[in-house]
Amino acid sequence: MVMMKHPFFPLSLLLILLLHSTSTSSQTPAPAPSSSPTDIIRILKKVGGFTTLIRLLTTTQVSTQINAQLLNSNNGITLFAPNDNAFSSLKPGFLNSLSDQQKDELIQFHVLPTFVTITNFDTLSNPVRTQAGDDPERLALNITSSGSQVNITTGIVNTTVGGSVYSDHQLAIYQVDKVLLPRDFFVPKPPPPPAPAPLKGKDSKKKSEDGAASPAGDKSAAMSLKKHMHGMWVFVAVVAVFSL
């Protein structure tokens, strides 16, 4: 019996040592994974199907702005991303007809300055503020949700969120099947205020009065000179008479 218990003891000891080693290694913290700054262009390229959006984000430098906001702010960003089919459905030549400022406004109109999950759209207050501005008449963006369906309207375009493209708890990208066109592009701009009428200065009035009076003044001066000359001739005549 002694010989049967002898090999069992080293085996149990080995199991105890193994369990202790496993427990110790599990308590050692794993090194934090190296994280690089978020690059929205790289994300969209990886997903694919957003060539036109990528070009506009780059030329307007909105991509640089978004990357900087993600790096320096805790609010996060939400981007509604029209795919290439959405841009293809626009009227031919529409994008080329926009000025650089309008292209910037168009892309900013697709960006919310906060991170919104797909289940939190019903917590937003309409009109939703975008990075293009918050003018309710010209830049209104209204979002409603029912269950998992999210509806978007701009007053010009009605569409739905097609699905989540990317989310990392700081940046959320949702695909939309139509380009979100703001009313600002279609509502006539208010006419500029009329220029103030020029004030009539006292100098102009005085000059006008002086100009109107100048003929009479010239006539009066001529008559005065004539009288003066007549007086001189009379004086000469008198002197001549008395000298005789």
Q: Residue 230: what pLDDT?
A: 46
Q: Residue 124: what pLDDT?
A: 95
Q: Residue 86: what pLDDT?
A: 98
Q: Residue 196: what pLDDT?
A: 76
Return d(Cα 14, Cα 10) in angstroms, integer. 6
Query: How do the domains of the chain map onto residue ranges?
Result: 40-183
Beta bridge partner(s), residue 79:
111, 173
Helix (H, G, I), strand (E, B) or coil at 148: coil
Q: Residue 23: what pLDDT?
A: 46
Q: Residue 225: what pLDDT?
A: 47
Architecture of 40-183 per CATH? Roll (2.30)
CB 159 within 8 A of CB 178: yes
CB 87 within 8 A of CB 52: yes
How confident is the prediction along the chain (244 residues), in pLDDT tens digits per residue? 444 444 444 555 555 555 555 444 444 433 334 467 899 999 999 999 999 999 999 999 999 999 999 999 999 999 999 999 999 999 999 999 999 999 999 999 999 999 999 999 999 999 999 999 989 889 999 999 988 899 999 999 999 999 999 999 899 999 999 999 999 999 887 677 777 777 665 555 555 555 544 454 455 544 554 554 544 544 434 333 334 4
Q: Residue 62: what pLDDT?
A: 98
Q: Residue 239: what pLDDT?
A: 39
Return d(Cα 11, Cα 81) in angstroms, integer. 62
| Predicted TM-score (pTM) above 0.85 | no
Q: How far is CA 82 from CA 159, 198, 235, in A?
A: 11, 51, 107
| Strand 149-153 versus strand 111-112 pairing type | unpaired
Residue type, 104: D
Q: How far is CA 80 from CA 8, 174, 182, 188, 224, in A?
A: 67, 5, 14, 26, 91
For 144, what's the count of Cα atoms within 13 Å in the CB-facing half-sphere?
A: 5
Q: Residue 205: what pLDDT?
A: 52
Q: Residue 191: what pLDDT?
A: 73
